[in-house]
Amino acid sequence: MSTFSAPKGTYDLLPPESADFLAVREAISAPLRRAGYGYVETPGFEHVELFARGVGESTDIVTKEMYTLTTKGGDELALRPEGTASVLRAALQANLHRGALPVKLWYSGSYYRYERPQAGRYRHFSQVGAEALGAEDPALDAELVILAADAYRALGLRQVRLLLNSLGDAECRPVYRAALQDFLRALDLDEDTRARIEINPLRVLDDKRESVRAQLTDAPLMRDHLCEGCKSYHEQVRELLLAAGVEFEDDPRLVRGLDYYTRTTFEFVHDGLGSQSAVGGGGRYDGLAEMIGGPALPSVGWALGVDRTVLALRAEGVELPRADATEVFAVPVGEDARRTLFHTVTELRRQGVAADFAYGGKGLKNAMKSANRSGAALALVLGERDLAERVAQLKDLATGEQVAVPLENLTTEVLAKLNRPTAR
Ligand code: AMP
């Protein structure tokens, strides 16, 4: 134990569990890479103003949850609380939108929000995200939703539900907003919520308190106010999802915590996670580029939470295969054996075998304990007598069965025992 521990609301990823985080990132990004999304990486911090404008001045993220700092040079920066604003900023800065559209990008990284920590809600968390910039096409919205659904399915998750809604556009949303405000102003609400009605009334629909929810049963719904364009767009997205076999639930009350969404809005939830049930979400954000000083650039994207996806795997009891688990563990006895086996381990690794070695000059008994603990299928044991006879003992750690193999073709024998195709 050191004097220090990880700050509140954060945790360390350590083996063996950390392998699940890598596997989740891989499973989410693989379908994106196959669909033409290119990798983008942006700084961990940006100018505060980017998030204030891009996420929304009135959102919880901007008003309460950002880690902000003033640099020695006087810059006002914030640790990134989400990915979309940064990715869009980077794409605009590099003029990617002047080339072929849509620009399709994916990213993976750490995000920071000063939230009240609880199970599934942390101050430092990890997301994989995707953004498709510069096209207004229901097939693009559908593509992104399908890619996310396929990623969850590839991971073996069965209990992820997809909630779908349309938030309208610049034509129909203002009319709906006004109708909703009229309705909300007549309710019995606290001062903060009343203030929210004037700034972002849609967010009131997302209030989790029972006292508020009970009053919202008859609230007007965006669904009943969609203009013809939005209605037809949404219908096309729904049809494409149905045709792809992606199940969803229409949720006319689904709004999201960020201000910039238009039209298609969705969230993936998992019922085994308690109150922090959202594993991922996203939608269309046609106005965001202009909000951060760029041109009109209709876009759609999502971010999936890696931490909560791992929790969902645990909740469903899904065990992911360990990609790089040790297959062969080498146990030398004596100096000459050490040199020989160290070389064999290097060779095996170069042949693509996951191999490890008993370091630290352990005795045979302790070294065999390490071999068993490593989870390897095979131990390669080399003692002094073996050396004299130019053989090594290849031991199947599950059955205890042991065979002597000639040192000359040790690598080939191990590969054969592992059912590997012939050495490269
Ligand atoms: P959001 O940008 O809020 O829509 O978040 C997208 C996804 O990131 C959510 O569905 C969560 O899986 C994850 N996420 C957001 N905030 C946190 C947090 N504080 N701790 C862990 N995961 C989070």
Q: What is the domain-level CATH number for residue 130?
A: 3.30.930.10
Say if residue 303 is in the same domain as residue 379.
no
Check whether 74 is labelled as a binding-site residue: no
For position 207, what pLDDT does the model report? 86
For position 47, what pLDDT does the model report? 98
Q: Which of 307, 310, 311 to mutate to test the pocket of ligand 1 (most atoms within 8 A of CB)?
A: 307
CA–centroid distance, residue 82 to ligand 1 (Å): 8
What is d(CA 260, CA 267) in angstroms, rounded to the nearest whole number?
A: 15
User: Which residue, of 262, 296, 316, is where some domain finishes?
Assistant: 316
User: How many CB atoms sit inside 10 A of residue 90's CB?
Assistant: 17
Say if residue 358 is in the same domain as residue 410.
yes
CATH number of the domain within which 347 lies: 3.40.50.800
Say if residue 286 is in the same domain as residue 405.
no
User: Which residue, of 288, 316, 344, is where some domain finishes?
Assistant: 316
For position 97, what pLDDT does the model report? 97
For position 249, what pLDDT does the model report? 98
Burial of 331 (0-12, 13-18, 19+ CB in 10 A): buried
Strand 355-357 versus strand 328-332 pairing type: parallel
User: Which residue, of 316, 346, 372, is where some domain finishes?
Assistant: 316
Q: Report residue 189 as tokens.
A: 């609400």
- List, in order, residues 6 or more apart from 32 with CB less than 8 Å away: 106, 130, 147
Say if residue 292 is in the same domain as residue 393.
no
Distances (CA, A) of 86 to 51, 55, 65, 68, 94: 8, 10, 17, 15, 12
For position 1, what pLDDT does the model report? 77
Q: Report residue 418 as tokens.
A: 């592992």
Say if residue 91 is in the same domain as residue 145.
yes
For position 203, what pLDDT does the model report? 86
User: Considering only CA atoms, which of 316, 172, 324 is closest in space to residue 234?
Assistant: 172
CA–centroid distance, residue 149 to ligand 1 (Å): 17
Order of strands across the sheet that contains 45-47: 45-47, 76-79, 68-70
For position 291, what pLDDT does the model report? 92
Q: Residue 69 belongs to what domain range? A: 18-158+272-316
For position 45, what pLDDT does the model report? 98
* Residue 57 DSSP SS3: coil
For position 257, what pLDDT does the model report? 62
User: Considering only CA atoms, which of 110, 139, 114 is closest in space to residue 126?
Assistant: 110
Q: Number of structural domains, the chain?
A: 2
Check whether 171 is labelled as a binding-site residue: no
Say if residue 282 is in the same domain as residue 413.
no
Residue 259: inside a domain, yes or no? no
Cα–Cα–Cα angle for 333, 336, 342, nearest 5°? 80
Say if residue 64 is in the same domain as residue 131.
yes
For position 423, what pLDDT does the model report? 47
Task: Please report, as a single letter, which amino acid is at residue 231.
Answer: K
What is d(CA 306, CA 390) in angstroms, rounded to the nearest whole number?
A: 50
Instruction: Say if ligand 1 is within 6 A of residue 121 CB.
Output: yes
Q: Report residue 326 as tokens.
A: 């040790």
Residue 178: inside a domain, yes or no? no
Consecutive 10-residue averages of pLDDT for the chain (424 residues): 94 95 97 98 98 86 94 98 97 97 98 97 98 98 98 97 95 93 95 90 88 94 96 98 98 79 95 94 94 95 98 97 91 96 97 96 92 96 96 96 95 93 58
> Are 25 and 306 a contacting pair, CB within 8 Å?
yes
Distances (CA, A) of 235 to 4, 138, 270: 54, 9, 25
